[in-house]
């Protein structure tokens, strides 16, 4: 008979140690999933904001919005951005654009509805310049979506890790 009051034998300790070693990898997978959710939600909200806040004429600004998620050497990054449209920044943040000429990008002429309501064709148009107030379509999307994602991140990671570590445990 033993003098020990309490004796515990850990069964399956090798499996437990393997699961503990896998935690960083598992957390990276979970964080990548969350980064994808964040980017997709910010993208969707940005597109919604664009439709609500700007008078979209050609769709070039909408088409320039995209998102991506990267994982490299344990670092996960996600971004929502505009690419290829030089006026995206001034539409987002606001500012002054000086008078300038507008030329056709594709084709030989510009076509638009003039002030009289008639269709007008021109080889160039003199833009008078403008002082634009920022629409903040991207900034506001980020501010609305980010707290929802980051606020639940801790509980999401804990729940996923518990499911992994304690699966099959009654």
How far apart CA 67 and CA 41 sit, in angstroms, is 10
Question: pLDDT tens digit string along 71-97?
Answer: 888 788 899 999 999 889 999 999 999
Does the pLDDT at position 112 exceed 80?
Answer: yes
Query: In this structure, which long-range contacts are made by residues 150-157, counting pairs with CB atoms below 8 Å and at least 24 apart in sequence?
Result: 153/31, 153/34, 156/30, 156/34, 157/27, 157/30, 157/31
Determine the pLDDT at residue 3: 59
Closest C-alpha to 47, from 133, 136, 138, 134 = 138
How far apart CA 81 and CA 99 sit, in angstroms, is 27
User: What band does 143 get if pLDDT is binned at 50, 70 and 90?
Assistant: very high
Position with higher pLDDT, 50 vs 22: 50
For 86, residues 6+ apart whose C-beta sits below 8 A from its C-beta are none
Does the pLDDT at position 170 exceed 50?
Answer: no
What is the average per-residue pLDDT within 21-25? 71
List 65's β-bridge partners, or say none: 82
**Helix 23-53 and helix 137-165: axis angle, to 10°?**
150
Closest C-alpha to 125, from 144, 99, 148, 153 = 99
How far apart CA 47 and CA 138 sit, in angstroms, is 9
- The ranges assigned to domains in the chain are 13-95+131-165
DSSP summary character for residue 166: T
Closest C-alpha to 137, from 58, 50, 56 = 50
List 113's β-bridge partners, or say none: 119
């Amino acid at each position: 008979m033993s003098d020990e009051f309490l004796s515990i034998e850990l069964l399956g300790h090798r499996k437990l140690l393997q699961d503990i070693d896998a935690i960083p990898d598992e957390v990276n997978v979970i964080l990548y999933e969350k980064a994808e959710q964040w980017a997709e939600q910010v993208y969707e909200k940005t597109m919604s904001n664009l439709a609500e806040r700007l008078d979209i004429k050609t769709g070039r600004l909408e088409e320039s919005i995209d998102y991506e998620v990267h994982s490299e050497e344990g670092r996960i990054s996600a971004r929502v951005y505009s690419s290829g449209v030089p006026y995206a920044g001034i539409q987002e943040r606001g500012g002054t654009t000086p008078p300038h000429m507008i030329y056709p990008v594709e084709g030989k002429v510009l076509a638009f509805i003039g002030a009289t309501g008639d269709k007008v064709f021109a080889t160039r148009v003199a833009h008078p310049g403008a002082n634009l107030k920022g629409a903040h379509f991207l900034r506001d999307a980020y501010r609305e979506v980010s707290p929802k994602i980051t606020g639940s991140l801790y509980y999401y990671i804990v729940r996923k890790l518990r499911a992994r570590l304690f699966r099959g445990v009654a």
